[in-house]
């Protein structure tokens, strides 16, 4: 009903009988705000042209969403990624999903026929990404690679929440190597290759999220990782092993007692994601322009400088770590909507309208259903953002922030409706 009413308002607001869908020039909008044509994946991309200049000096760009399981964000983000790949030479897509499982998705994107689409979707790890829009994007991406065999796009995962699988991978690579005994304090060391991790009582306990590891266990594991890393680097082809050790280190740290409360648990995970992204980029092509596809809460820079009602102090984010290492070579695009609906399995469905005084409410007042905002140009003067004055952004869980300190650009929609799962 909310989507229908929103559409009715915009179609029916012209009282003189003229077609209200006729686009007006951006000059009628505040400085730094650009009108977008819509969210359909097959629309021409000319409305997204301002992104080229906004991101001209960035080689790694975060593309987000303000909540999982909201389908409108999937559609607008897919259009943005399509534009940046096809027109601005982005050649790696790095997803907030298991780095090991993503190899299945990577195989599909590489050739379209090495695995089927269902397996490719499963490789994205989380139900939050497994939408019909994601399937459409992956199909387009493998088609793009088929048309550009000498300049393909590579798909990778960067998440680090399954250290036991990283431990199993190391065992698979070197089943009889005594050096790996240095990792005996690490999660998953006792697992056999292919064994269900939940059969290990320690791992099963950790999966409940209520009890952490003993600090001494983690300290011993981290010492072992340093020693094994040195040995691995002496091997002829250490790449995947270094990835596994990096993911194991980040994942192990997630489960120590100190990390069971925010913000440290987020920082351990996000530091690992930033490391895995840069490691894989270095191996694929150190100069490759890269898209980091994740929640807004992971991609924004200077994460410790926002006002977060749920976490105090707020955590460092993957975007923070990337910006610290890359400088202006990193940029983030935040995604937001005035009315956000979602249907989160196990948590239920809901719809939230942005609060008065929030940035989304201000953008809604412009009477444009889709907008692109240049965070720098839209700040100060007659822009929609006050210079150095925080504003709430990120409905339904907004944070107070000075937008240009965290995002290079924003993509706004009046409505983001609930996601429809690929499996439905």
Q: Are 132 and 196 in contact (CB under 8 A)?
A: no
Please give the helix or strand (H or E) that residue 278 lies within, else none. helix 264-284
Q: How far apart are CA 211 and CA 208, in angstroms?
A: 8
13 pLDDT more than 60: no
Q: Are 30 and 386 in contact (CB under 8 A)?
A: no
Residue 391 has phi, psi (to 5 degrees) of: -140, 150
353 pLDDT more than 60: yes
3-state secondary structure of 349: strand
Out of 3.40.50.300, 2.40.30.210, 1.10.3080.10, 3.40.1660.10, select the CATH number for domain 23-160+274-416.
Answer: 3.40.1660.10
List the single range of 7-16, 25-34, 359-368 with lowest mean pLDDT. 7-16
Q: How far apart are CA 200 and CA 317, in angstroms?
A: 31
Q: What is the mean pLDDT of residues 290-318?
A: 93
Strand spans (E) along 12-89: 33-35, 60-63
Q: What DSSP assignment string belongs to 221-273? A: HHHHHHHHHHHHHTSS--HHHHHHHHHHHHHHHHTSGGGGSTTHHHHHHHHHH
The pLDDT of residue 212 = 80
3-state secondary structure of 159: strand
Which residues in the chain are classed under CATH 3.40.1660.10?
23-160+274-416
The pLDDT of residue 261 = 61
Q: Are 337 and 398 in contact (CB under 8 A)?
A: no
Q: How far apart are CA 46 and CA 406, in angstroms?
A: 26
Contacts of 144 (CB under 8 A, 6+ apart): 85, 86, 153
**Global pTM?**
0.92
Higher pLDDT, 21 or 171: 171
- Give percent of the chain above pLDDT 90: 81
DSSP conformation class of 323? H
Higher pLDDT, 21 or 407: 407
């Amino acid at each position: 009903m909310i989507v229908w009413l929103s559409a009715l308002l915009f179609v029916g607001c012209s009282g003189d009988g003229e077609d209200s869908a006729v686009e007006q020039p951006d000059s009628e909008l505040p400085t730094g705000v650009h009108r977008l044509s819509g969210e359909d994946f097959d629309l021409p991309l000319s409305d997204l042209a301002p992104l080229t200049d906004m991101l001209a000096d960035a080689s790694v760009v975060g593309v987000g969403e303000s909540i999982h399981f909201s389908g409108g964000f999937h559609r607008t983000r897919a259009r943005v990624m399509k534009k940046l790949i096809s027109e601005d030479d982005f050649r790696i897509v790095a997803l907030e999903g298991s780095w090991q499982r993503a190899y299945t998705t990577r195989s599909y994107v590489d050739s379209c026929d090495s695995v089927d689409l269902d397996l490719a979707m499963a490789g994205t790890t989380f139900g939050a990404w497994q939408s019909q829009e994601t399937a459409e994007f992956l199909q387009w991406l493998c088609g793009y690679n088929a048309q550009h065999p000498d300049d393909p796009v590579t798909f990778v995962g960067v998440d680090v929440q399954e250290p036991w699988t990283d431990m199993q991978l190391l065992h698979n690579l070197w089943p009889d190597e005594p050096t790996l005994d240095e990792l005996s304090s690490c999660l998953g060391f006792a697992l056999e290759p292919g064994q269900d991790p939940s059969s290990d009582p320690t791992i099963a306990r950790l999966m409940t999220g209520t009890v952490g590891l003993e600090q001494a266990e983690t300290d011993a594991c981290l010492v072992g990782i340093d020693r094994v890393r040195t040995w691995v680097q002496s091997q002829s082809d250490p790449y995947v092993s270094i990835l596994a050790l990096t993911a194991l280190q980040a994942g192990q740290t997630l489960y120590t007692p100190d990390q069971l409360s925010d913000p440290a648990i987020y920082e351990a995970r996000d530091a690992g994601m930033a490391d895995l992204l840069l490691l894989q980029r270095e191996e694929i092509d150190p100069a490759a322009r890269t898209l980091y596809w994740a929640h807004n809460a992971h991609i924004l820079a200077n994460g410790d400088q926002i006002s977060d009602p749920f976490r105090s102090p707020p955590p460092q984010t993957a975007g923070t770590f990337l910006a610290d290492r890359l400088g202006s070579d990193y940029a983030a695009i935040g995604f937001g909507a005035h009315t956000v609906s979602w249907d989160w399995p196990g948590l239920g469905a809901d719809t939230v309208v942005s609060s008065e005084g929030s940035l989304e409410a201000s953008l809604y007042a412009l009477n444009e259903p889709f907008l692109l905002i240049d965070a720098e140009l839209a700040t100060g003067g007659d822009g929609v953002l006050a210079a150095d004055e925080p504003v709430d952004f990120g409905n339904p869980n907004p944070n107070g922030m000075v937008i240009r300190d965290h995002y290079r650009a924003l993509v706004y929609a009046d409505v983001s409706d609930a996601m429809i799962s690929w499996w439905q």
